Amino acid sequence: MRGLISVGGKRSDLVKAVVRSVCYGNGGTRNRTNGPSSGGPVSMAYTSFQSTRPEQANQLSPIIIMHGLMGSKTNWKSMGKAINLKTGRQVYTVDARNHGDSPHTEHHSYPLLAEDLLFFLHEHNLPQAVLMGHSMGGRAVMAAALIEPSVVEKLVVLDISPVGTSTSISTLPRFLEIMRKVTLPPTVNIQEARTHIDNLLQPVIQDAGVRQFLISNLFFAENEYRWRLNLEGIARNFNPHISTFPASLTSKVFEGETAFIGGALSDYLRPENEEKIEAIFPQASFHYLEGAGHWLHADKPREFLELVTPLLNP
């Protein structure tokens, strides 16, 4: 159904929710390159934007934002701050496992990303939160809401769907392969390195903005160039764990308030799939941002902020 629907989230004791959904064990921060090799949650790196309204600080649930595939919390720095100012809610932007400053792991799937989000709530003693995610992050927050609905006040899913997929996703393994094969001598400066990779990617990625988005993960440390992404792990798990939403979760239902926001120029969220989505998220509302593609928050930041703010407000 279209338009905003107000449905209050169901609250429950966090400890019970955590115990029901997964056995977490010790929650210390793990080394970025030596994350767990088997299944289980990781401690995600994050940036926090504190509430600017002290009188509401203890009354409003925080917002947790997870980026898309091959992104990071840095992509959401400006928007996260703007959302914090607009809503008065504390905002956490997180790095998903195998991305940014979070641990690199052998396994990568939406149930595991959901466990990481639930573990984040446990670590920060948050009884409930608004979960918002873009693309891969959108599927992660959907999975979290379906696995443990009681800790999710609201759900905001950006340009992704639990059913179907975009035709463009088939090209992503080729991007990964090119990035994995890049070799750069330590003698070249960062600008030369980025230009070289940009030239390698240009034949398969015509959009310069997308190329720069991928290249932003390159950094220099200990006399060598590295990626902030675990390219091997992402490539190994891409089919089927990243490319599709797990069928086992589509039999579940999240009854809470849910908003799907798509770019009108994107095919990741399609109007013809709304009925199927409503079977999983019966309180869903659907919104399409004119003139925006898959990276809708970057394509139309002002319009996106105007659209999402009332969806995030109490």
CA 54, distance to chain mean position in Å, is 28
C-beta of residue 256 within 8 angstroms of C-beta of residue 145 = yes
Residue 292 CB neighbours (<10 A) = 23
Closest Cα partner for 176 from 133, 205, 208, 199?
205
3-state secondary structure (DSSP) of residue 81: helix
Residue 49, beta-bridge partner list: 91
> Which residue out of 99, 122, 294, 297 is catalytically annotated?
294
End-to-end Cα, the chain, rounded Å: 20
CA angle (28, 246, 5) in 5-degree steps: 90
CA distance 314 to 302: 21
Q: What is the DSSP letter of 291?
A: T
Question: Catalytic residue at 12?
Answer: no
Q: Are 160 and 139 in contact (CB under 8 A)?
A: yes
C-alpha separations of 106 from 127, 150, 208, 220 in Å: 29, 29, 30, 23
- Is position 108 annotated as part of the catalytic site? no
**Which residue out of 106, 232, 274, 278 is catalytically annotated?**
232
- Amino acid of residue 282: P
Q: Is 290 a catalytic residue?
A: no
Of the residues 21, 135, 266, 285, only one is catalytic, namely: 135
Beta bridge partners of 156: 132, 259
Q: Could you give the angle at the alpha carbon of 63 between the alpha carbons of 14 and 245, nearest 5°? A: 80
- For the annotated catalytic residues, the residue numbers are 135, 232, 294
